[in-house]
Amino acid sequence: MNTPIRNTPRRRLQIPRRFRGGRPLAALAVVPALMTLGNLICGFAAIHYAAMPVATSDIFGWSTLTVAGCLIFLGMFLDALDGSVARMTHSSSDLGAQLDSLADMVAFGVAPAYMMLRLVSHYYGPEHYTGVLGPDADNLYGRITWTIAAVYICCTALRLARFNVETPSVDLHDHKWFRGLPSPGAAGCVTSLILLHQHLLAKQYGGEFPQGIEKGSSLCIPLVTLVAAMGMVSTMRYPHLINRWVAGRKDFRGLVRIVIPVVIALWWLQVALAVCFVAYAISGPCGAMIRSIRRQSRVAEPHEPVA
């Protein structure tokens, strides 16, 4: 006698919650994440002020480019703190590192490039021009400048992606040196020169440079931007200033190296920023040249005969 087959409900395959939709997201520390997002907002605000026509703003009577530059440096300060705070609180994570790179792309990639474009457009655009020169500009110099800005943004993205891949861990030992000019250093080099340009225009020359100097002085900014872009994708070695010279205990000479630039910056802030960031940018090729000369001298030295 055949027994009837009961219609039993099929059991659904239970997928563990941790495997739904990919890997689980690690917890994100609140304070470092807020600093990273603050850096992102500073970059966005810098683009907002750089998009305005170059004129006096309502913020302390500064020019719009000066306000944009100060916002980039504020983002740089927050960017220097978020990693240190994450390591101090043992709350570093892969998610935080990716978020940091996205914020740096805006604050140190797009914002400085747009500031440079606005400066050049102000001096080399048509009369009473309030836009930004682009690939469709009648001015050859405007098209070249736009291309340099695009190259700078691409090099920033490549630099940040390479840093995420090459950095083995969040340990302080792995953050002593950079391979290639770091994106905050490149952004500081471009932004500090624009700030110095605006400062000299407003304070030193009373709002108007001598004939020919005002437009001519802005010619060097795109060149510096291109050199900084090439430095980011290079393999030259750059020190991590915070981790090597500021963090931890320092001897008397180390303290002097910190105090002297701070005192100089209190008197001549714009000049000190420009000199320090330009010196940091050229420290990479200078250091590579010195190491190459030392290697060649060691190879050229005759070996003493063994007795």
Res 45: pLDDT = 97
Highest mean pLDDT: which range of 47-56, 149-158, 217-226? 149-158
Radius of gyration in angstroms for the set of CA atoms belonging to the chain, rounded to a whole number? 25
Average pLDDT, the chain: 79
Res 13: pLDDT = 47
Cα–Cα nearest to 124, from 114, 135, 137, 110: 137
Evaluate if residue 78 carries a pLDDT over 80.
yes
The burial class, CB within 10 Å (0-12 / 13-18 / 19+), for 129 is middle
User: Taking residues 194-220, what's their average pLDDT?
Assistant: 72
Evaluate if residue 218 carries a pLDDT over 50.
yes
Res 305: pLDDT = 54
Res 15: pLDDT = 45
Q: Which carries the bigger pLDDT value, residue 305 or residue 281?
A: 281
**Which residue blocks in the chain are alpha helix, DSSP H?**
30-50, 64-88, 94-105, 111-124, 140-166, 183-199, 213-217, 220-232, 241, 252-267, 269-300
Note the pTM of the prediction, 2 decimals: 0.80
User: Taking residues 293-298, what's their average pLDDT?
Assistant: 79
Q: Are 242 and 233 in contact (CB under 8 A)?
A: no
Per-residue pLDDT of 30-70, as tens digits, reads 788 888 999 999 999 999 999 998 888 888 888 899 999 99
Evaluate if residue 106 carries a pLDDT over 80.
yes
